[in-house]
Amino acid sequence: MKYKADWPEARRRLTALWHRERLDRPALAVTAPQPVAAPTPVPVPADDEARWLDPAYRVAVTRRQLESTWWGGEAVPSSLLMAGWVNSLGGTPRFAPETIWFEPGAVDFGGPSPFRHDPQGLWEGKYRALLLAQCAAAGQGDFLVGKSCILPANDLLSMHLGTQAFLLALLDHPEWMAMAIRQGALDQQQARQELQALVRARHDYWYGNAGWMPLWAPGPFNSTQSDVSCMLSPELFERFVVPELDIVGQEHGALWYHLDGGDARQHLPRLLSLPYLRVIQYVPAPWEPPNGPGHLAMYRQIQAAGRIVHVQVPWQHVEPLVRDLDPALLLLDTWCPSRDAGEQLLEQSVTWSRQAKAAKAAP
């Protein structure tokens, strides 16, 4: 891999993680800034839409990110195409410097759901052009392009209706909402498969997660979330979200799930009961401590169910997690101020793992 000379070793370790094999340390993705003599020039985007969708701009940003980063351990060179959100079941995106959002609107609950995928839609076409440009830049395997960043139907409907209207509709129009979410999930599956087919023909690593929380595995898997679930009771989660998880998870039989904040943790037992769930990736709410020792009980709960814990942590919190958790079910994502510091952290993690194993074996 162009931006990672030790990719064969990283691939070996990520394969072991997927198969729950214990090595000399847990999987540890470490990035650090890397000086570049002549960095790729990045043009100024014409507007916020171009910031997310202009192929020339996004490819330049990707190249700058890749070349100015040291990708250590199991860090996978990649760049997030957040514009995948525009595959939004008919929503009209609004672009801001830091995000993409959708203006909510009213819906006729007496008719069919308007939230459908349109392969010939304006925004879908713009995203395909961007994705193909990214594939051309990556070649067969210079960096990970991976799966498109597509939001699930339940989160999209909460955006398109507005959060309050969405929650009221779950109670006032439950049959309509259940059908709309299910149909949206099937449509998003179609969109996902169409986009994966484009990448698969051009790129070896079409199925991994790229960018924000990248993960490569030795076989295809899907990734999803339900950020709106932080406002749902277990009963509502069961009725409106789990059927969509079944559609997404059963497609490849393996699911990576983004669990967003403490209010969504009430659903963890149900998530851990899903046979296709392989990875839980947790992001604490602003009022919680960052990922690290403050969440050890939850990490142990996930690992006790045989699932992989994938968390982004400050480098200072790597040691306690390496010492206290099962290395065969752990992927830590961190960053260091320099390559030297990152290489030292990787070496230390081997020592911490060996010490932890000896401590557990001691009478």
Residue type, 99: T
Q: Specify if 1 maps to a domain.
A: no
For residue 78 the two structure tokens come to 């990649």
What is the sign of the dihedral through the CA atoms of 106, 110, 115 and 117? negative
How many domains is the chain partitioned into structurally? 1
Q: With contact defined as beta carbons under 8 Å apart, do 225 and 153 qualify? A: no
For residue 342 the two structure tokens come to 């990152």
| 104/160 Cα distance (integer angstroms) | 4
Q: Specify if 144 maps to a domain.
A: yes
Question: Does pLDDT of 114 surpass 90?
Answer: yes
Name the nearest CA neighbour of 348 among 72, 151, 6.
Answer: 72
pLDDT in tens, 65-101: 999 999 999 999 999 999 999 999 999 999 999 999 9
- The domain that contains 262 carries what CATH number? 3.20.20.210
Provide long-range contacts, Cβ within 8 A and 24+ apart, for 169-172. Answer: 169/109, 170/232, 170/236, 170/240, 172/109
Q: With contact defined as beta carbons under 8 Å apart, do 53 and 130 qualify? A: yes
Q: Specify if 326 maps to a domain.
A: yes
Taking residue 363's Cβ as centre, other Cβ atoms within 10 Å add up to 2
pLDDT in tens, 190-224: 999 999 999 999 998 889 999 999 999 999 999 99
What pLDDT is stored for residue 205 in this prediction? 86
Q: Specify if 124 maps to a domain.
A: yes
Q: Specify if 51 maps to a domain.
A: yes
Q: Specify if 92 maps to a domain.
A: yes
Q: Specify if 220 maps to a domain.
A: yes
Rounded (10°) CA dihedral 255, 256, 260, 265: 60
What pLDDT is stored for residue 363 in this prediction? 80
Phi, psi (degrees; rounded to nearest 5) at 70: -90, 125
The angle that helices 122-138 and 174-200 make with each other, rounded to 10 degrees, is 30
Q: What is the largest CA-CA distance in the chain?
A: 68
Banded pLDDT at 21 (limits 50, 70, 90): very high
Task: Print the domain residue range for 36.
Answer: 7-361
What pLDDT is stored for residue 362 in this prediction? 84
| 249/307 Cα distance (integer angstroms) | 14
C-alpha dist (Å) from residue 228 to 7, 225, 327: 36, 9, 31
The residues with which 308 forms a beta bridge, in sequence order, are 279
